[in-house]
Structure 1
Amino acid sequence: MQVKKNPEVEVGRNSSLYFAVGLNLMLLITYMMFEHKTYESDITARDIVQVDDMIEADIPIVNLDVPPPPPPPPPALVPDDIKVVEDQVEIEETIIESSEIGQNDAIEEYVADVEDVDVEEVDEDIEVPFAVIENVPVFPGCEGGTRQQQIDCFQAKMMEHVNKNFNYPERALELEMHGKVYVLFVIDKTGRVTKIRSRGPDKLLEKEAERIISLLPKMTPGKQRGRAVNMPYSIPIHFKFRQQ
């Protein structure tokens, strides 16, 4: 005959649960032991702050030697002989008459004669181009002849003067500078060359071209309607060198 056991009173039915709870408790206790920190008692220092009673000291008042303020200025002296001047001046009124002309004012008729008009001649510096001037400036040696002959002689003498006084700058030769320089100038109403300007590839060439034109002789000035006038003129000077 087998003995029947009551399952409610069996001891080992919850053994696995007890084992798991016990294991977790041991792990928790072990972790807390590893994390626990201890300190040696002889290393710990304790500071005690002592606060003494505040001492109230009386600050002595020091009197500095301050100079006394300066005395007030003496009162102004009033002279005994005071003259009272009356400032009432009689002013005469000046009547200013209007200079405007009214309807009732008569206008005197006056006819001016031609002889009474003074014509002032204004000397203007008029510049007449070479192409339209009536009488071109006369270069020395070009006197006489027609207008076209004087023009041809003027241009020929101008080229002869440039070729005669031409001098190639040494610095320009070393740098192999070349090109055409346009020189603009004015032959004024006295026949002299003024207002010389130039435009070229370099300042060295421009300076030499202006020097050549400044050596032009005095001429007979150009005329327009019988009066001497200024005439602008331009000439190209070609700087060209030959390589050996």
Structure 2
Amino acid sequence: MEPKKNPKADLRKNSGLYFVVGLAIVMLLVYAAFEWKTYDEVNEYDISLNVEDQLDEEVPMTEQIKTPPPPPPPAAPEVIEVVEDEEEVEETVIESTETSQEEEVIEIEDIEVEEVEEIEDVPFAVIEDVPVYPGCEGAKDKRACFNEMIQKHIRKNFRYPEIAQEMGIQGRVNVMFTIMTDGSIGNIRYRGPDKNLEAEALRIIEKLPKMTPGRQRGRAVRVPFSIPITFRLQ
């Protein structure tokens, strides 16, 4: 059976070629659409101001006139005192302090300087005449009387610090002081286990009375003395 259509009239024969050509045309149109640019209308004209050049005219220049400062006042004329020839003017004569060979040099005798003896500290244990505590003037052994009166003074004025009792603090405070040449008490030093005990020991020693100073070779000297004060809880 023969086909009814002519093979040359078959449109599907070149359909692939037509598709490729059409696709290429569409892509060109899309690219052209993306690349298409539009610009606003711009009037091309010069917007600068028209200023007439007046080069021929000279511009006057103003100069600042500076006024010169006033001249300084004239200096006062010096008063020149005229001395007449008849008037005698005293001249100041400066005598030379240099000695001539004719003058005799007087020798000055050596000046004697009295040596001031330094007051030394003499320990209580070795001093010749110990300090006398008030009330021990008539005692045979003034050294033993001194120690006894010191102990009596400490017992009489002793007060245990309340804060130390509450904290249970006890111990020994070593006190050192000096009986000065006028019999007063000075140079008090102390060391103990607690500042409250030290303060009480200082208070006791400061209450010591004024004494008769100790003597060494017939002159008053300072006598250092040390004594322990014991604080003990019962």
| TM-score normalised by L of structure 2 | 0.60
Structural mapping, 1:51-90, within 5 Å: 72-79=69-76, 81-84=77-80
**1:138 paired to 2:132:** yes
1:127 lines up with 2:121 in the alignment: yes
Identity %: 45
Report the secondary structure of 1:204's partner residue: helix
Residue from 204, 219, 239 that aligns with 2:231: 239
**2:79 counterpart letter in structure 1:** K
Q: 1:83 to 1:174 in 2, by over 3 A?
A: same
Residues 110 and 170 of structure 1, relative CA distance in 2, 3 Å threshold:
closer
Corresponding residue for residue 148 of structure 2: 156
1:37-72 CA-partner distances (Å, limit 9, x unpaired): xx97766798x9xxxx9x79x9xxxxxxxx986762
- 2:151 and 2:32 mapped to 1: Cα distance? 122
Equivalent-residue separation in structure 2 for 1:41 and 1:240 (angstroms): 118
User: In 2, distance between residues paired with 1:122 and 1:45?
Assistant: 125
Distance 1:90 1:170, change over 3 A: same
Alignment CA distance shift 1:119-1:237 (3 Å):
same
Partner of residue 10, structure 1: none
2:98 aligns with 97
Which residue is equivalent to 2:176?
184
User: Is the CA contact (8 Å cut-off) linking 2:139 and 2:145 kept in structure 1?
Assistant: no
- The letter of the residue matching 1:164 is K
Task: In structure 1, give the amino acid aligned to 2:188.
Answer: I
Counterpart CA distance in 1 for 2:133 and 2:228 is: 18
Query: Which digits, 9 at most, give the CA deviation of each residue in 1:187-217, with x for residues without a partner?
Result: 1122121222211122211111011011111
Provide the secondary structure at the position in 1 that maps to 2:229: strand
- Cross-structure match for 1:207: 199
Q: Which amino acid aligns with 1:95?
A: S
Q: What is the SS of the residue equivalent to 2:203? A: helix
From the superposition, tell whether residues 174 and 90 of structure 1 become closer, same or farther in structure 2 (CA, over 3 Å).
same
Hey, what's the Cα distance between the residues in 2 that align with 1:210 and 1:185?
10
What's the Cα RMSD here?
A: 4.2
- For residues 108 and 157 of structure 1, the distance between their equivalents in structure 2, rounded to whole angstroms, comes to 65
Q: Distance in 2 between matches of 1:45 and 1:237?
A: 117
1:222 pairs with 186, 210, 214, which one? 214
CA distance in 1, matches of 2:96, 2:230: 79
User: Which consecutive unaligned segments of at least 5 residues does structure 2 have?
Assistant: 1-29, 40-45, 52-63, 83-89
Q: Distance in 1 between matches of 2:35 and 2:224?
A: 112
Given the two structures, how large is their TM-score scaled by the length of structure 1? Answer: 0.58
| Matched length | 180
Unaligned runs of 5+ in 1: 1-38, 59-66
Aligned equivalents of 1:199 and 1:215: distance in 2? 18
Q: CA deviation at 1:108?
A: 7.5
User: Residues of 2 paired with 1:221 and 1:211: CA distance?
Assistant: 22
CA gap 1:220/1:93 in 2 versus in 1, 3 angstroms: closer
